[in-house]
Amino acid sequence: MDLETHFFKWLKKTPIAKGIGDDGVVLSTSLKERFGVISTNSKDKVLALDLFSEGVHFKREWFSLKALAKKAFLVNISDILCMNAIPKYALLGLSVPKSFSLKECSLLEEGIEEVCLKWGIKLIGGDTISSNTLSFAITMIGETRGRVLYRKGAKKGDLIISSARVGSSYKALHSLLRGGNACKKSRFFQLSFNVGFFKNLTRFISVGLDISDGIYTECNRLSKLNQLDFKLFKKDKRYKSGEEYEWLFCCAPKYKVRLKRLAKRYRANIEILGRVKRGRSNYKDKKWH
Amino acid sequence: MDLETHFFKWLKKTPIAKGIGDDGVVLSTSLKERFGVISTNSKDKVLALDLFSEGVHFKREWFSLKALAKKAFLVNISDILCMNAIPKYALLGLSVPKSFSLKECSLLEEGIEEVCLKWGIKLIGGDTISSNTLSFAITMIGETRGRVLYRKGAKKGDLIISSARVGSSYKALHSLLRGGNACKKSRFFQLSFNVGFFKNLTRFISVGLDISDGIYTECNRLSKLNQLDFKLFKKDKRYKSGEEYEWLFCCAPKYKVRLKRLAKRYRANIEILGRVKRGRSNYKDKKWH
């Protein structure tokens, strides 16, 4: 048993854990404005903390510093979006290598500014330290917009769908780890989210998450949580591909036509991967990180 | 200019920053309960993210793993308390060395559980990775209880006070870095908070923060923020001592008797360190971390 699994098992039984298992957690809130207080509206808040670390999630030579800073934020933005919330605030814990020049530091800042401006995110706090490796710990706070999507809620008979064809991330990482080149258009480098598509989807889907650890791993998790078998139609090494940050969701078969129409409208190259059945899934998958 | 200073300067001018400068940031909230939602009451929320990393804040041989986990949480709890809020929820980003045994992992978990149970904190999310060094990134969420204290708000003539005699943390770290032993009762190892004292204090003090980087450094920051001189009565190398997590606060001289009575009641060994004047402070201080 690896350490993360051990830790996760502990989280399941410790009395101090609450609401863990989704990409984010929901805290409800309402408007109140005053000196020094970040003014918020009456929408519930979704919180998520993700780490993005050199040697674990990336090697520095694979990305420009600007691209790294942006990706660190985008993987957290993905956590918020997949619960049908909109990212609003972030707290950033930044570990910068002692060897960094001020120029390198500025490149990070440019990346952070660019991604936060694009998404309308306000940086409201955090911490910075000099360290040996570059590492981002980001707490992202989003506001819900209607129905919140959880990992729990799948029903027997539901279709299992991904919002796009996955696999490019695996291919890129595989090649990089062997010292080769990788296609810069891969999801490993270029993250974009089909936000309009997902917003419309949330009206009729039952479960929503982002594919951060590969479809096999996510299906194993969904199976445990929903006590159902997330049965994929076929085996495919693309299903091992993590860091896709495409959406994985379930919907009742009666919505299939509506789903396909929506996908066409938003140019989403969706894939129907399988069906939820009675039982338990247990796909063999190596850890992505 | 070091990297943290550079980064902080950027934060001051970037349009994406909001509400930065205090130990935590306030988000207002209200009660709403539903499936999957952490139920909260109508109190405002205070959020803070702090890093606690091997090689930066500690060497592993200085602490037991349980003590380390506890200290990681306590330094974050301190951020919430000093704004006159009560810690309620935490998100934990944990980097565990690959070399850790399951036993070592369990010791960390025991420490986390102990400190969270003691303070009534619920762990609501986070992330775990295998890394080269041990590191904690904690986002602590607290609820306000009455008046929130900020770093801004000092008035000319205010007294500058620390909630206890500082210095033990500096002494311990100094000795440890030279390979010596350190008193285990030092604030470097043993953090406790005189919560009742501070709660009563908040009725008449103007500024509140925790001493994480030494009194000199904190006074320089307060000076910039309040555009006043935080004039200390004397020079003392104890004022360089960071990681004290005692409170630094300001109050009008007319409350001096009330303050001393309160300190006596709560056995707080307060020190009146100086007075707020017109001008700017610029104490020479080396960085604590």
Sheet architecture: strand order including B159-162: B205-210, B247-251, B159-162, B271-277, B229-232
B195 bridge partner residues: none
Distance separating alpha carbons of residues B245 and B116, to the nearest angstrom: 18
How far is the alpha carbon of B97 from chain A, nearest alpha carbon, in Å? 9
A53 interfaces chain B, CB cutoff of 8 Å: yes
Q: What is the pLDDT of residue A274?
A: 96
Average confidence score pLDDT of chain A: 86
Contact B129 A289 (CB under 8 A): yes
Q: B31 contacts in A (CB within 8 Å)?
A: 28
Share of chain A above pLDDT 90, in %: 49
Give the mean model confidence (pLDDT) for residues A29-36. 34
Query: pLDDT 10s digit of each residue in chain B, 289 long?
Result: 677 777 778 877 787 777 666 777 776 543 332 233 444 445 678 889 999 999 989 988 888 999 999 999 999 999 999 989 999 999 999 999 999 998 998 999 999 999 999 999 988 888 889 898 999 999 999 988 888 888 889 999 999 999 988 888 888 888 888 888 888 888 888 888 999 999 999 999 999 999 988 899 999 989 998 999 999 999 998 898 888 889 999 999 999 999 999 999 999 999 999 999 999 999 987 666 6
- A103 contacts: CB under 8 Å, gap ≥ 6: none
Tell me, what's the pLDDT at A167? 83
Q: What pLDDT does B288 receive?
A: 60
Length of chain A: 289
Residue B263 · residue B270 · CB < 8 Å: yes
Q: Which chain A residue shows the shortest CA-CA distance from B120? A: A16
Is the model's pLDDT at A40 over the cut of 80?
A: no
Asked if B127 lies within 8 A of A51 by C-beta distance, the reply is yes
Residues A27, B45: C-beta atoms closer than 8 Å: yes
Task: Please answer yes or no on whether B18 and A89 come within 8 Å at the CB atom.
Answer: yes
Residue B6 and residue A102 in contact, taking contact as beta carbons nearer than 8 Å: yes
- Judged by CB atoms closer than 8 Å, whether chains meet at A14 and B123 is answered as yes
Which residue in the block uniquely carries the two structure tokens 């490149």?
A107
Per-residue confidence band for A257, with pLDDT thresholds at 50, 70 and 90: very high
Per-residue model confidence (pLDDT) at position B39? 42
Interface probe for A, chosen from B91, B94, B243 (most Cβ of A below 10 Å), is B91
- pLDDT score for A29: 47
Taking the C-alpha atoms of residue B42 and residue A31, their distance in angstroms, rounded to an integer, is 10
- Report residue A27's pLDDT band, with 50, 70 and 90 as the boundaries: low
Say if B109 is an interface residue toward chain A (CB within 8 Å): yes
Q: Give backbone dihedrals phi and psi of B101, rounded to 5 degrees, phi first.
A: -85, 165
Give the containing element (helix H, strand E) for A92.
Answer: strand A85-97
Cβ atoms A150, B38 nearer than 8 A: no
CA distance B175 to B183: 9
Element (H, E) at A143: strand A135-144
Q: How far is CA B112 from CA A172, B65, B73, B189, B245, in A?
A: 37, 10, 8, 16, 19
Q: CB-based contact (8 Å) between B148 and chain A?
A: yes
Distance in angstroms between the alpha carbons of the first and the last residue of chain A: 15
Residue A18 token pair: 């609450």
Evaluate if residue A42 carries a pLDDT over 60: no
Whose tokens are 């809020």? That residue is: B85
- A3-144 has CATH 3.40.190.10 classification: no
User: Which pLDDT score is estimated for A73?
Assistant: 96
Which residue on chain B is closest to A152 by alpha carbon?
B36
**Per-residue three-class SS string for A114-127:** HHHHHHCCEEEEEE
Residue B5: its pLDDT value, please? 75
What's the CATH number for B158-278?
Answer: 3.90.650.10
Strand, coil or helix: A183: coil
Question: Measured between alpha carbons, how far is A220 from A228 in angstroms, rounded to an integer?
Answer: 10
The whole-number pLDDT of residue B204 equals 93
- Mean pLDDT of the region A177-204: 87
pLDDT higher for B8 or A53?
A: A53
Burial bucket for residue A180 (CB in 10 Å: 0-12, 13-18, 19+):
exposed
**Residue with more model confidence, A9 or A129:** A129
Which residues between 67 and 106 in chain A have a beta carbon less than 8 angstroms from any beta carbon of chain B?
89, 91-96, 98, 100, 102, 105-106
Interface check for B124 against chain A (CB to CB < 8 A): the answer is: yes
Q: Which of B16, B50, B123 sits opposite A17 (nearest CB)?
A: B123
For chains A and B, what is the number of CB pairs under 8 angstroms?
Answer: 264
Q: What mean pLDDT is predicted for residues A82-108?
A: 91
Q: Which tokens sit at B78?
A: 């301190």
Q: Name the residue facing A14 among B8, B25, B113 (closest C-beta).
A: B113
Percent of chain A with pLDDT strictly greater than 70:
91
Other C-beta atoms closer than 10 Å to the C-beta of B241 total 27
Shortest distance between the Cα of A197 and any Cα of chain B, in A, equals 24
B283 is an annotated ligand-binding site residue: yes
Assess A286–B contact: CB distance below 8 Å, yes or no. no
A263, A193 Cβ separation under 8 angstroms = no
What confidence tier does A19 reach under pLDDT thresholds 50, 70, 90?
A: low
User: Pick the residue with more confidence: A130 or A39?
Assistant: A130
Q: Which of residues A273 and A43 earns the better pLDDT score?
A: A273
Biggest alpha carbon–alpha carbon distance for chain B? 58
Report which of residues A72 and B36 the model is more confident about: A72
Pull the structure tokens for residue A85: 């919330």
**What's the confidence (pLDDT) of residue B21?**
67
Alpha helices for chain A (secondary structure H): 3-13, 65-81, 102-119, 168-177, 195-201, 215-226, 256-265
Q: Does A5 touch chain B (CB under 8 A)?
A: no
Q: Which of A22, A32, A49 to mutate to test the interface with B (most CBs of B within 10 A)?
A: A49
Domain boundaries for CATH 3.30.1330.10 within chain B = 3-144
Give the pLDDT confidence score for residue B31 in this predicted structure.
Answer: 31
Q: Binding residue per annotation — B285?
A: no
pLDDT of residue A39: 42
Alpha carbons within 13 angstroms on the beta-carbon side of residue A213 total 17
Q: Testing the interface with A: which of B98, B124, B206 to mutate, by most A Cβ within 10 A?
A: B124
Residues of chain B found within 8 Å of residue A106, distances taken between Cβ atoms: 6, 10
Test mutation, B22, B38, B140, chain A, max A CBs within 10 A: B38
Cα dihedral B273/B276/B279/B284 (nearest 10)? 20
Query: What pLDDT sits at residue A24?
Result: 72
Amino acid at B118: K
Intervals of CATH 3.90.650.10 along chain B? 158-278
Q: In terms of DSSP bridges, do strands A205-210 and A247-251 run parallel, antiparallel, or are they unpaired?
A: antiparallel
**Closest partner residue to B27 among A25, A40, A94, by Cβ?**
A40
- At residue A17, the pLDDT reads 76
CB contact under 8 A, B4 and A128: yes
